[in-house]
Amino acid sequence: MHLFLSLIILLSLWTSQLVYSIASPFQAGTQFHKLVARQETTPVADPCDCACGPIATAVEACVQSNTTDIFCSCPAFLESSPLCASCTASGSINSTYSADFPPFSLEVVTAFCTCKEPCAAAAPAFFVCPGGVEGVNCTCDVLATSYSEECSCCLKKADPWLEGIVALFSSQCIDYLSGGNGDAFLFKH
C-alpha cells in the first residue's frame, strides 16, 4: 500500500509539473514568445524555436482565449511534438523549451490528443488535477471512474508504453478506492 501511495503521489507530482510546465509560461503579463536571452552578450535564437515554437504559440493562444478545452492546442502538439521532443531531449542544446516541453510531457499530451474522444473523461487526471497529496484523490477519482476500455485501446495503438502506465495507475486507483492495497491491474496484457 505504501508503494502504491508513493507511486500515486509521484504521478500526482508529475501531472502537476506537466500542468505547470505547459501553463506557467502563459500567465498574464508574460510574453512567452520573447524567450529568455541565451546567456550571451548578443542573444541568439533558441535552437528549438522552429521545432517547439508552434506548440508554444498554440498553447499561448489557448490560454489567452480563456478556453476550458484542455485539447485546444492538440493540432500543434500532434504536428510538432516529435521534432520538439528530439530537439529538447538533446543535452547539448541550450533551449528554453527544454524546461517547458520535456519529451515525456510531449509524449503524454500527444497520446491524449491522438485519443481525445475516447480519453476525454480520463485526460483531466493528467492535465487538471493538482499535484502533491491533494492531487492523489483527484487523480484517483478521475482515473477510477473515467479510464475506459476504449481509451485503453486507443492509447495502446498511439503509445503502448504510456498506455501501460495509465492502465496500471487506473487499476491501482480502483483497487485503492475500493479498500484494497492498490496492487490490482485492470486491463490484463
> Domain residues of the chain, as ranges?
2-177
Q: What is the pLDDT of residue 94?
A: 76
The cell for 98 is: 527544454
Please tell me the pTM assigned to this model: 0.72
Q: Write out pLDDT tens, residues 61-81.
A: 999 999 989 999 999 999 999
Phi, psi dihedral angles at 79 (to 5 degrees): -80, -40
| Tens of each residue's pLDDT in the chain, 189 residues | 444 444 444 444 444 445 444 444 444 444 444 444 444 455 567 888 899 999 999 999 999 999 989 999 999 999 999 999 998 887 656 788 888 888 888 999 999 999 999 999 999 988 888 766 666 778 888 988 899 999 999 999 999 999 999 998 888 888 888 887 666 554 444
Q: What is the pLDDT of residue 172?
A: 86
C-alpha to C-alpha distances, 172 to 28, 45, 143, 161, 177, nearest whole angstrom: 38, 45, 9, 17, 8
Dump the DSSP string for 131-179: SHHHHHHHHHHHHHHH--HHHHHHHHHH-HHHHHHHHHHHHHHHHHHTT
Distance, in Å, from the CA atom of 174 to the CA atom of 179, rounded to the nearest integer, reads: 9
